[in-house]
Structures are given as C-alpha cells and as structure tokens.
Structure 1
Amino acid sequence: MKADRTTVPSPSGGSYTLWQLVAYMLRLGTLGFGGPVALAGYMHRDLVESRNWFTEADYKEGLALAQLAPGPLAAQLAIYLGFVHYRIAGATLVGIAFVLPSFLMVLALGWAYVRFGGLTWMQSVFYGVGAAVIGIIAISAYKLTRKSVGGDPLLWTIYAVLVAVTIITESEIAWLFIAAGVLVWFWRAPPKWFKQGGMPIAAAWQIAPGSGILTNFDLPLLTQIGLFFAKAGAFVFGSGLAIVPFLYGGVVTEHQWLNEKQFVDAVAVAMITPGPVVITVGFIGYLVAGLPGAIVASLATFLPCYLFTVIPAPYFKKYGKLPAIVAFVDGVTAAAVGAITGAVVVLAKRSIIDAPTLVLAIVTVLLLWRFKKLPEPAIVAGAAAVGLLVYPLLRS
C-alpha cells in the first residue's frame, strides 16, 4: 500500500498531507482523554474549526455514519475523515495511528497488572479522573449541540427525545437514529411516492428498525477470543461504554475468563488512558491470553468498524449533497448529539458520587470554558493527583 504524500486542498480552505493527518491522529490517540464524546469534539475543533482541513458537511457525514454503523464512534469518525481525501490508504493509516498509542498503553498496564498482582492505586486515580472526564465531555457535548442542532425546531425535538431516551434506558437505541433521519428526510424533501400517498414495500423494509507474552499460544482459545470480540465489534451499537455490558456478559458470565474485580479494573484502565474507551478489549485480551490475546481481541473488535466505515463511505461522498441525504444526515446527527448529551448524564451518575467529585467536574467545566486552549491532558493529570490525595483520606 503506497500512501500519497501530496498535499490536498480541502473545499473548506485548508490544505494538508496524509502524513500530517496521521500525525494528528497519532497525537490525539496519545493525548486525547474523555472518551468518544470528547474525542469527536476535539476532531471538530481541530480539523474543522481551527485547521479547515474538512468541511462541516464532511464532519457531519462522518458522525452520522459512525452512529449508524456498529462499533466505537470515535474510531469510525477518524477512519472516515482519513477516507475523505485519501481513500483506503488514508482510512487505514489513520485508523492504525488513532488506536495504536492506547493499545500500547493498555498492553503495558496489562503487563504491570499481571506482574505486580493488581492495580491498587487505580481506584484513587479513577476517582479523580472520572469526575474530570465528565466535565470534559460535558463541554464537548455542548459545543456539538450548538454547532449541529442550530435553530431548527424539528432537530431540537429529536435531540430532546434522544437525550431523554438515553438517560432513561442508559443505552443508545440504533433504530432511533435511522428513524430520526427518515423523519427529517420526509419533512424537508419527501420523495415523490410519499407525496402520492404510496410507499413501496422495498422502502418500508429499508427503514424498518434493525438494530506471559508469547508463551501461551493457545490456538483454540485465541479463536474463541477472536470470534467473541468480532461479534462485539460487529453487533454492538453505541459509543464508548455501550460495549461494556456486552463484554461483561461474555467475558465474566459466559466464558468466565475474568472475575468481577478484574473486569472492573479493565474498564477503569480504559477510562484513565487516552484514545478510544473500547481499547479495554486489549487489556482483557492480555489478561486472558497474553500478548497474542491482546492483539487478537483488538483486531477482532476494530476490523468490523473499519469495514463498516470504508465500504459505505464512497456512497456517502457521492450522494451526500442530495437534499434527501442532507436531510437524513441532519436528522441522524441531531439524534446522535442528543444521545451523546444523554450519555454525559448517564456517566455522571457513576463518576460523581460525592462533594469532591462534583467540585472536580464543575471546576473542569469552568476551566475549559474560561481557557479555550487549556490542554485536556493537564486537567486529567491534575485530577489524577487530586484523586490520589483525596480518595485515601475519604476512605480512611
């Protein structure tokens, strides 16, 4: 695969090379804290608003596709942006650059976990970081809402419904994204057959809701791991922690690869490391089968999301400017941002558990609001230090 080194002038006015985009995604994967909501917000801020490498339409198409397809939202959005101007080479290199840093980090933590018998300091760090992360994703959700929903009453209605549904069910319901897109499509640019009062059976089907390192090379076990995590990547909709209940059912209950404590530690590792939260699969794979298990689990989880992004991407670009498609994407985007905002509340209920964590979350919001260029890793590091100091005092 030969990567293009040429500079691409984007319709939004900026220009960049593939390697500049890969370098950006490598940096985001290394320093980007806050989960999928925050990561999607960083991409919009940096690549659309600041550098003008992508248009608002490019971003909205990528966000809509990432919400419609199963798999981790932030990784799919990054892969789609890589595809926009550099096609398969761009999507592949960007996807690898985005995921690799966090994979290496959880691999190192997995080794330390096995070597030293647990992560006793993890609760203290997560106590502080979890609260700060809520503040980070709250600001990101606010910016996405203001940019994507605008002043359209229909989009605001869809947004509010998805916020409520996400908070009540504590999950993202995939068919609601499709229904929102169809609703806005029919409202703004209804097809001729709809105006005539008829609806082909084929169209009805299309909108129906669907919803030790290398010493233990155990091929049957690795095959089992690959099949399970491929299913997780291919059939779990939503972003970030949406995959956790599915993983719990298979890893702890069905296969009994890990116990409850190990699984909770695996989720905590994903939350305190940068990059996509779904990279917890690498930590789980390492605990189950060492380095081969980590590699197989990660590849099996991310390969479906790569394919579900690259295969439909050309059609999004080719037909994305049609009024019906624009309306559909607007509806899906409003639903997606509503679900993301609802997820902030859901996560807050788990991370803000007392007065100090509430203060940490509020201080994070105020700092990011006041200082627009304040780096999130600095906030995360400060929150971790507060957690290490305060948590033992509260539990003593």
Structure 2
Amino acid sequence: MSVPLREALKFWTKLGFISFGGPAGQIAVLHQELVEKRRWISERRFLHALNYCMLLPGPEAQQLVTYIGWLMHRSWGGILAGTLFVLPSLLILIALSWIYLTFGQVPWIAAIFFGIKPAITAIVMHAAVRIGKRTIHNQALKWIALGSFLAIFVLNLAFPLIVLIAAAVGIWGGKRYPEYFQQTHSHGKIQGTHLGAAIIDDDTPTPEHAQFSYQKTLLHSAVALTCWLIPVGLLVGFFGWKTLYPQLAWFFTKAAFLTFGGAYAVLPYVYQGAVDHFHWLSAGQMMDGLALGETTPGPLIMVVAFVGYLAGHIQHLIGYSNPFWFGVLGACVATWFTFLPSFFFILVGGPIIESTHGKLAFTAPLTAITATVVGVIANLGLFFAYHVFLPHGLGGSISWVSMVICGLAGLALFKLQKGVIPVLGGSALAGLLVYFVATLIN
C-alpha cells in the first residue's frame, strides 16, 4: 500500500498555506496530520527523520517535509514537497513587500509598523531565551554563548567566523570533555500512542532509493551543483559579477550553510550583510520584514524573500518604469539560493548523515554552534532595541511609547505564553491607537 503522488501533492500544497507558528508549530502540524490522522508514517520513523533534520543547517520543518516526500516518492517527491512548502510564502511575501514599499508611508500603515517594531524586539529576545533553555544545559555552553555575544557585540566579529570558532571549540570539547557536549532534543518529545499500522511503519524496510550509494551521491551532487552554477552564470552574464543579483546569490548561499539552530540563527548574519555591509535595506526595514515573515505561512527564514525584493526594487527605482519585476527577481534569487542547499542535504547527505547520527564527534560541534547562536541572537535583540528605543541615535530622544509596547509584548510572550501572531496583532493595534490619539491631540 502506498500514497498516490497526486494525493500527497494536494496535502503538501495545503500545508504550504497553513504552516504558521514557526518550526515548532509546523512540526506539530506535520505530526498530527501524518502520524496521527493519515498514518503515512509511524511515530518512530517520524522522530528519526526529525532528529536527522535537526542536525542539518537550514529550516528543519521544510527539510522534514522534503525528507518524508523523498522517502515516499523518491527524489521528485521530496523536491515537490519541499517546494510546495515554501512557494505560497514566497508569493505572499512578494505581494506584501510591494504593498510595504508602495504604501508604507501612508500614515496609518506606518503606525502599524511603528507598533510592530517593539514587538519584534521582544520576539527576538524571547527566541534567544527559548533556544537557550532548550540547548544550554551546562556551564560550558553558557560560557560559549556569552563568548559569542561579546565577540559580536564588542569585537564586531563576522557571524561566519564566530560559527567556525564555535565548531572548533566543539570538536576540541567533544574529545576532551564529552559530558558537556552531549546533544539534547530541540523540540522536546512528541508524545504519541500506538495508532495502528502506518504506510511507512517501524519495521518497513528503507526503500532502495533512500539507501546510500556512491553513484546516486555523485549524480545528485552534480545535479545540485548544476542548479547552482547555471543560475549564477545567467545572473553574471546578464548583470555582471559585482552587481546586485550575483551578490544576492553568493550571500544567501553562504547564509544557507550557517542556519544551525533555525531561522533566528541566521538572522544576525543576514542583518550584518544586508544592513551593515551591502546596505540593501535599513535596520527598520529589516525589522518590518521580520514582522511580515512572522505573519505569513512557511519557514520564518522566508524573510530572505523580503530582503531580496527590497534590494531589487529599491536599486532599480531610478531610470526604470517598473521596479516591481526587479524586486521579484531579487526575491526569487534570495529564495532559490537559500533553499537549494536544503534539498542537497536531504537528497545527497541523508544516507551519509544518518550513518553518523548520535556520534559525538559529529554532534559536539553542532551543540557548540547552537550555544553560540543564543548569544548572537541576544545581540541582535539589543541592536533592534537600540534602533526602536532610540530612533534618532544616542543624541536623540527616547521613544517611551515603543518601550511600553515592547514591555507589554514581552509580558505576553514570557508570562502569558501568547503566540507570535496575537502579539503582533495587539502591537499593531497599539501603534494605530497611538497614531489616532496623537492626531486628535494635534
């Protein structure tokens, strides 16, 4: 018995439109739909796939979807499943990015973003605390997190360098002090009961296409490399190597290999590159993009589509009749090169990495990197707080209203355990309220 490809594609398409709530929420939906309701895969096989995806850089929920699609319907099944998980979010974000640039200066829309920015600051700090509680379980990892925070906050080291240093510390620590670098589960245990036989059950043999072979590894590696080289070649041929779109391609390729720990882990790197180095967008625009990413389905890392769209649109505002399509190209380039490595890791690295799963020599560097990510995310939260609370710099006035909204958003997240969407909605309403009150007073 097997699931027809057409039926599977219907589900993956539906999933792309309902996958809100970040990776934890998306994985919970996948578990409920595939393990409990449809019985396409057993509890143990689902958790095995999840643990594997958690070892990889990249958006783990999207990789889990790709993995299960690959297990069920070979390479094309995985590619289609992973693509359909991302595609709705890409289309929605392109539309929202255009609306943002076209109507963002309309007073009431600007007021909404004014209210959302403090909430984003609280959400990023909440992410740092949440990831820290999940991953930092001893004193050594606390020191690594603190060291990464100081490295980027005080020394302004580049995020890739911090990741490399953390990996080296993990390799050394895993050999010298292995008890400090044992990996823990990132999403907790998913409780399940025996629900009857599944199509891919505990004792179902691994299908032939999912077993390791040198021929398949070389073939899939060559295909992945071709899928990287051809678009890069076309972009360089049309625009030149030192222009925007090849830069986007190379930048987001590097970003894709640095996303250990989920989307929030790569945000500091994207922030450093897009805002500080390339100046594709401002700090405030980056926060607005994160807000839009939080309110759309799909992986949070889809904020890269917003960055790509703004970079293309803004750079072609002068001398072009319709910069919209340059923005669309930027969004597509950013998305393509961010997610291509994820498909590579599943289709090529799956059988290889599965054989190393649970070996400390492999997992210790990832544990150290995840601890590093906590410190880097905390630094990002402080940067956001600086730009929100002191919008005109140290010499300007403090935005007390933003501090109040941020405090209330933090209270809702930390104490009341509210979700991201209600917090963003309430903060947007607060921004509107402030705008209407200020209008009445004036």
Give the TM-score category using the shorter length.
Answer: 0.5 to 0.7
Check conservation: 1:285, 1:294, Cα contact below 8 A.
Answer: yes
Q: Tell me if structure 2 keeps the 8 A contact 1:64–1:336.
A: no
Q: Please state how far the C-alpha of 1:165 moved relative to its aligned partner.
A: 2.2
Residue 177 of structure 1 is matched in structure 2 by 163
Match of 1:27 in 2: 18
- Tell me the equivalent position of 1:387: 431
**Aligned with 1:332 (options 363, 366, 369):** 369
1:311 equivalent in structure 2: 344
Partner of 2:212: none
Q: Displacement of 1:279 after TM fit?
A: 2.1
- The correspondence for 2:410, drawn from 365, 379, 384, is 365
Q: CA deviation at 1:325?
A: 0.8
Q: In 2, distance between residues paired with 1:60 and 1:162?
A: 25
Structure 1: gaps spanning 5 or more residues: 8-16, 33-38, 67-72, 191-218, 253-257
1:168 aligned to which of 134, 147, 154: 154
Supply the distance in 1 between the matched residues of 2:239 and 2:3 (Cα, whole angstroms).
36
Shift of 1:109: 4.7
Please identify, of 321-330 and 291-300, the stretch whose mean Cα deviation from structure 2 is larger.
291-300
RMSD, aligned α-carbons: 4.2
Is contact 1:25–1:98 with CA below 8 Å preserved after alignment? Answer: yes
Cα separation, 2, equivalents of 1:21 and 1:387:
36
Is residue 80 of structure 1 aligned with residue 113 of structure 2?
A: no
Contact 1:132 1:380 in 2 (8 A): yes
- Further displaced range: 89-98 or 305-314: 89-98
Indicate how the Cα distance of structure 1 residues 239 and 117 shifts in structure 2: closer, same or farther if over 3 A, else same. closer
The range that moved more, 325-334 or 272-281, is: 272-281
Tell me which amino acid in the other structure corresponds to 1:65. Answer: L
CA distance in 2, matches of 1:364, 1:342: 19
Kept in 2: contact 1:137–1:344 (CA 8 A) = yes
Letter in 1 for 2:116: V
1:127 aligns with 2:164: no
* Structure 1 position 267, deviation (Å): 3.8
Select the residue among 90, 94, 98 that pairs with 1:110: 98
Aligned partners of 1:291, 1:350: CA distance in 2, in Å?
28
Mapped to 2, the partners of 1:317 and 1:172 lie a distance apart of 31
Aligned partners of 2:283 and 2:384 also within 8 Å:
no
Tell me the equivalent position of 2:215: none
- For 1:264 and 1:345, the matched residues in 2 are separated by 12
- 2:303 corresponds to which of 264, 277, 283: 277
Q: Quote the Cα distance in structure 2 between the aligned partners of 1:41 and 1:333.
A: 16
Q: Quick one: structure 1 residues 95 and 342, their matched pair in 2 at CA, closer, same or farther if it must change by over 3 Å?
A: farther
Q: Residue 130 and residue 54 in structure 1: after superposition, are their counterparts in 2 closer, same or farther (change >3 A)?
A: farther
Q: 1:101 aligns with which of 89, 95, 98?
A: 89
Cα distance in 2 for residues equivalent to 1:99 and 1:171? 34
Q: Distance in 1 between matches of 2:51 and 2:159?
A: 19
Q: Secondary structure at the match of 1:311?
A: helix
Q: What code does the residue aligned with 1:385 have?
A: L
Native 8 Å contact 1:360 1:383 kept in 2: yes
Report the Cα offset of residue 146 of structure 1: 0.9
Residue 65 of structure 1 is matched in structure 2 by 56
Q: Whole-Å Cα distance in 2 between the matches of residues 187 and 172 of structure 1?
A: 23
The reply to whether residue 376 of structure 1 matches residue 402 of structure 2 is no
1:158–1:180 contact (8 Å) kept in structure 2: yes
Task: Report whether the alignment pairs 1:154 with 2:198.
Answer: no
How far the C-alpha of 1:22 sits from its partner, in A, is: 6.0
The CA deviation at 1:60 is 7.0
| Equivalence for 2:247 | 228
Partner of 2:270: 243
TM-score (norm 1): 0.67
State the alpha-carbon separation in 2 of the partners of residues 348 and 57 from structure 1.
Answer: 39
The answer on whether the counterparts of 1:234 and 1:305 sit within 8 Å (CA) in structure 2 is: yes
Answer whether contact 2:94 2:331 (CA < 8 A) is retained: no
Paired with 2:15 and 2:44, the residues of 1 have a C-alpha distance of 12
1:130 maps to amino acid: K
TM-score by length of 2: 0.61
Change (3 A) 1:378 1:334: same
Distance 1:80 1:297, change over 3 A: same
Change (3 A) 1:242 1:328: closer
Call closer, same or farther: CA 1:244–1:329 in 2, change over 3 Å. Answer: closer
User: Offset of 1:175 from its aligned partner?
Assistant: 2.9
Q: CA deviation at 1:108?
A: 4.6
Structure 1 residue 324: deviation in Å? 0.6
Match of 1:137 in 2: 124
Amino acid at match of 1:383: S
- Structure 1 residue 158, shift from structure 2 partner: 1.0
The amino acid across from 1:234 in the alignment is T
SS of structure 1 residue aligned to 2:56: helix
CA distance in 1, matches of 2:48, 2:147: 24
Separation in 2 of the partners of 1:169 and 1:48? 43
Once the two structures are TM-superposed, the CA of residue 326 in structure 1 deviates from its matched residue by 2.0
Alpha-carbon offset, residue 282 of structure 1 = 2.4
Q: Say if 1:23 and 1:144 are closer, same or farther in 2 by CA, change over 3 A.
A: farther
1:321 aligned counterpart, secondary structure? coil
1:25/1:94 contact within 8 Å kept: no
